[in-house]
């Protein structure tokens, strides 16, 4: 669904009377529970985006019949802003989030977002709340752009109206410790021809049951396998996965059922820059099982905006836990995590021009 009306858009701003910033304990940030002072909102109706505004962060009200609540026409993105030593605030590859959001929008029969709505709204919001971008090592401002169907109608069809919003949260790490994951071969996150590659709410709902079962058994997450045969490794729901086996870095090839992670893509580029052999291909459970048994998995880690580069400590499969070496200096995971951090903080050359100043 493409917009036909291209009116010139401007953003109005309504500031909070009193900032909540002094109440925040930046030394003890949880993930995703502390929300900055403002949010960005735009409304879609009559085939166009209207009423762009940055307003105080607040609850929103809607009808019980609002279609998102019933049929999950809802998509989102995850991105981060970084504060450098000189106080400058930078975004990491925001164009990639913008493009992926519209890929998700198309798949979910939602309208595309105009670039100026996404980018100008984002920058305006971050500029206003730049005091919320943590300066502490390891903390950042997590940014959550999202769009949802807003029609008050319970017939099943794409909505005619939508809201696009962005709010932000100062956060520390998503995983506070190296993660324990289990290969999931009973339940399915995404199927061929489905919506697994779209960043849509239902994929996360579909992941909860198996993840909860794994958590009961002491794991943080599952490693999803393909829905048809459960023979091939896909992703972890909160992150894409990388394994270093016999010196080569491997990650699942993209497809219908794997999210095209921006951290994943950046790590593949950095691996190439470092001269680290890297393959995007089908990875069978059998191959991983054999490599685990033979002690040939040199490294395993997850990659995502929230997860950053998260070391995998244990892989569980068919009742056996395989412990993996830690992410220490000298490992690829350590080097790539540090390089991403240094690029973001302006400590090394940003040769791919990934950083955008707010």
Stretch that binds ligand COI, among 91-99, 118-126, 225-233, 303-311 (CB under 6 A): 303-311
Instruction: Please report whether residue 73 would count as binding ligand COI according to CB under 6 A.
Output: no
- Pick from 304, 311, 339, 340 the residue near ligand COI by CB under 6 A: 304
Give the shortest CB-203-to-ligand COI separation in angstroms.
10
Strand partners, 233: 225
Residue nearer to ligand COI on the CB measure, 214 or 245: 214
Give the shortest CB-14-to-ligand COI separation in angstroms.
27
- Pick from 97, 139, 236, 305 the residue near ligand COI by CB under 6 A: 305
Instruction: Please report whether residue 134 would count as binding ligand COI according to CB under 6 A.
Output: no
Among residue numbers 224 through 243, which ones bind ligand COI (CB under 6 A)?
A: 238
What is the Cα–Cα distance from 11 to 52, expressed in whole angstroms? 5
Rounded to 5 degrees, what are φ and ψ at 250?
A: -125, 145
Among residue numbers 306 through 325, which ones bind ligand COI (CB under 6 A)?
A: 306-307
Instruction: Please report whether residue 139 would count as binding ligand COI according to CB under 6 A.
Output: no
Among residue numbers 74 through 93, which ones bind ligand COI (CB under 6 A)?
A: 78
Q: Which residue is nearest to ligand COI (CB)?
A: 78
How many CB atoms are closer than 10 A to CB 332?
22
Give the shortest CB-92-to-ligand COI separation in angstroms.
11
Give the shortest CB-78-to-ligand COI separation in angstroms.
2
| The dihedral formed by the CA atoms of 200, 10, 171 and 242, expressed in degrees to the nearest 10 | 40
Residue nearer to ligand COI on the CB measure, 268 or 297: 268
122 in Cβ contact with 94 (< 8 Å):
yes
Stretch that binds ligand COI, among 301-309, 320-328, 329-337, 345-353 (CB under 6 A): 301-309
Give the shortest CB-44-to-ligand COI separation in angstroms.
22
Residue nearer to ligand COI on the CB measure, 183 or 308: 308
Give the shortest CB-99-to-ligand COI separation in angstroms.
15
Stretch that binds ligand COI, among 11-19, 126-134, 161-169, 302-310 (CB under 6 A): 302-310
Residue nearer to ligand COI on the CB measure, 175 or 322: 175
- Residue in 263, 236, 300 with CA at minimum distance from that of residue 92: 263
Max Cα-Cα span within the chain: 62
278 in Cβ contact with 269 (< 8 Å):
no
- Residue in 312, 247, 245, 309 with CA at minimum distance from that of residue 283: 245
Give the shortest CB-237-to-ligand COI separation in angstroms.
7
Give the shortest CB-268-to-ligand COI separation in angstroms.
17
**How would you classify the pairing of strands 308-317 and 297-304?**
antiparallel
What is the Cα–Cα distance from 214 to 180, expressed in whole angstroms? 10
Q: Residue 303, class by beta-carbon neighbours within 10 Å (0-12 exposed, 13-18 middle, 19+ buried)?
A: buried
Residue nearer to ligand COI on the CB measure, 207 or 291: 207
Residues with Cβ within 8 Å of 162's Cβ and at least 6 positions away in sequence, in order, are 43, 44, 110, 111, 147, 148, 149, 150
Rounded to 5 degrees, what are φ and ψ at 332?
A: -65, -45
Rounded to 5 degrees, what are φ and ψ at 39?
A: -140, 155
Which spans of this chain sit near ligand COI (rule: CB under 6 A)? 78, 238, 304-307
């Amino acid at each position: 669904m493409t917009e036909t009306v291209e009116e010139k858009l401007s953003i109005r701003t309504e500031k909070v009377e009193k900032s909540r910033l002094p109440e925040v304990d930046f030394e003890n940030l949880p993930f995703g529970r502390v929300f900055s002072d403002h949010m960005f909102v735009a409304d879609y109706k009559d085939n166009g985006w209207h009423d762009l505004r940055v307003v105080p962060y607040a609850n929103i009200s809607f009808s019980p019949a609002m279609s998102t609540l019933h049929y999950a026409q809802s998509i989102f993105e995850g991105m981060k802003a970084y504060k450098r030593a000189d106080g400058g605030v930078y975004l990491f590859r925001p164009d990639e989030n913008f493009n992926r959001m519209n890929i998700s929008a198309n798949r979910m029969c939602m309208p595309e977002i105009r670039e100026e709505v996404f980018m100008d709204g984002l920058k305006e919001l971050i500029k206003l709340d730049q005091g919320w971008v943590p300066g502490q090592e390891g903390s950042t401002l997590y940014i959550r752009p999202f769009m949802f169907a807003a029609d008050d109608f319970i017939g099943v069809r794409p909505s005619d109206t939508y809201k696009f919003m962005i709010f932000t949260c100062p956060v520390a790490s998503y995983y506070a410790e190296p993660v324990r994951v289990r290969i999931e071969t009973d339940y399915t996150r995404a199927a061929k021809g489905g919506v697994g590659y779209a960043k849509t709410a239902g994929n996360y709902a579909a992941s909860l049951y198996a993840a909860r079962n794994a958590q009961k058994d002491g794991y943080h997450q599952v490693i999803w396998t393909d829905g048809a045969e459960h023979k091939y490794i896909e992703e972890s729901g909160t992150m894409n996965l990388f394994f270093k086996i016999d010196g080569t870095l491997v990650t699942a090839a993209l497809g219908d059922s794997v999210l095209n992670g921006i951290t994943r893509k950046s790590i593949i580029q950095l691996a190439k820059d470092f001269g680290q052999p890297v393959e995007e291909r089908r990875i069978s459970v059998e191959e991983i099982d054999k490599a685990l048994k033979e002690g040939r998995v040199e490294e395993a880690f997850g990659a995502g905006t929230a997860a950053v580069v998260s070391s995998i400590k244990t892989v569980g499969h068919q009742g056996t836990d395989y412990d993996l070496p830690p992410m220490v200096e000298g490992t690829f995971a350590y080097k790539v995590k540090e390089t991403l951090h240094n690029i973001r903080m302006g400590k090394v050359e940003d040769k791919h021009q990934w950083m955008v100043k707010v």
